[in-house]
Amino acid sequence: MAETTVDDAFVEFERVQKSYDGETLVVKDLNLKMPRGEFLTMLGPSGSGKTTCLMMLAGFETATHGDIRLGGTSINNIPPHKRGIGMVFQNYALFPHMTIAENLSFPLEVRKMGKSEREQKVQRALDMVEMGSFGGRRPAQLSGGQQQRVALARALVFEPELVLMDEPLGALDKQLREKMQFEITDLAHRLGITTVYVTHDQTEALTMSDRVAVFDDGRIQQLAAPDQLYEEPENSFVAQFIGENNTLEGTVKEINNGLALVELDDGELIDCKPINVSQPGERTRVSIRPERIEYNKDRLREGVHTLKAEVLEFIYMGDIFRTRLRVAGKDEFIIKTRNAPDQQRLQPGQQIEIGWLPEDCRALDA
């Protein structure tokens, strides 16, 4: 998915910028192409510009610069209700004075649909989210999760090609959230709906999406499939933001045959894959995942550089061991080791040597 060049993009942002006050850009240069049927998540810290992007796509905000296209047509001058977009927001805002069925019927009435067809579609949408027998109730008579399902049904009832969801599960408990995550992606895929989903929960983003756009500071830092984001972060922001990660700082000594030799600040040498570095002398932040680190010598490839480490904490977690180490002067170096019969358990105070495959270690921006 990540490698596809999206030629006939359904949703397209081209060089989009947004400023609310005419001075600061909260969206700096957004370029994004989504094929029809894709489930894309915008993930990023608070204030990074996710909702603003969604609002521009929905038509509630206009871009300060650039172009937004839907099905190849620029939508900058099309008002929100003519864009045919279904929306679910965190404060679902069902109309409190209407029944559930009336809530769902409303977007169809707006579209001038006849009564019997309306009733049919409303029932089908409610059945889809397993709320078929709740049509006569009012929103206040439903639980939070049920209201959320109704909001989802209302966004889908007029069969939009595009659905936007902004933190739709934020208010729900963990169990219901996980159930709804599955229901949403299942529905979207079954109905072939193109979805833009916003969250700051990385697990949610990784489990639900075809692709994830990681936002920071008004820019997409990386746009890729979940596994690629985790395995091949393109910069240190993404490496830190997605999953657990260890970092060490150093200076590039040499780059040869696609491998960088990095001298850490305490003088030790490690091998890594050069991602954002190209010259000796450059500063770098080296990134490595906890589960890619070995301390069992038999499992290390010959010739790779190893590092000295002191065990600070060893936690037995059943399927894995989680160990905190002091490495190169840092106390927060985490390794995760699969619990296997030949895997040694460690003791606090113990001195060990750790290593990894150079390709699992990425030399990123400093």
Closer residue to Mg ion (CB): 70 or 165:
165
Q: By CB under 6 A, name the one of 26, 108, 180, 214 that touches ligand ATP.
A: 26
Q: Which is nearer to Mg ion, 54 or 128 (CB)?
A: 54
Count of residues that interact with ligand ATP, criterion CB under 6 A = 11
Q: Which does 48 bind (CB under 5 to 8 A by kind): Mg ion, ligand ATP, none?
A: ligand ATP
Query: What are the two backbone dihedrals, phi and then psi, of residue 342, each rounded to the nearest 5 degrees?
Result: -95, 10
Nearer to ligand ATP, 20 or 95 (CB): 20
Which residue's CB is nearer to ligand ATP, number 48 or number 337? Answer: 48
The span from the CA of 283 to the CA of 37, in Å, is 42
Compute CA 175 distance to the chain's CA centroid, rounded to the nearest angstrom: 20
- Separation CA 210–CA 221 (nearest Å): 17
20-59: contacts with Mg ion (CB under 5 A)? 51
Which residue's structure tokens are 């894959």?
A: 273
Assign 144 to helix, strand or coil.
helix
Nearest distance from residue 101's CB to ligand ATP, in Å?
31
Q: E-assigned strands of the chain? A: 11-18, 27-34, 39-43, 65-70, 73-74, 85-89, 162-166, 194-199, 211-216, 219-224, 246-256, 259-264, 269-274, 283-288, 307-316, 320-327, 330-338, 351-354, 361-364
Smallest distance, Å, CB 195 to ligand ATP? 17
| Chain centroid offset of residue 184 CA | 15
Residues 41-60 touching ligand ATP, rule: CB under 6 A, are: 44, 46-52
Per-residue DSSP letter, 345 = P
Given 20, 60, 95, 182, the residue binding ligand ATP (CB under 6 A): 20
Distance CA(156)–CA(170), nearest Å, equals 19
Q: How far is the CB of 219 from ligand ATP (least distance, A)?
A: 12
Residue 246 binds which entry of ligand ATP, Mg ion, none, CB below 5-8 Å type-dependent = none
The nearest distance, CB 169 to ligand ATP, in angstroms, is 14
Which of 51, 235 has the CB closer to ligand ATP? 51
- Return all residues near 320 (Cβ < 8 A) that are at least 6 apart: 291, 336, 337, 338, 339
Nearer to ligand ATP, 51 or 148 (CB): 51
233 makes contact, choosing from ligand ATP, Mg ion, none, with CB < 5 to 8 Å by partner type, with none
- What residues make contact with ligand ATP under the rule CB under 6 A? 20, 26, 44, 46-52, 200
- What residues make contact with Mg ion under the rule CB under 5 A? 51
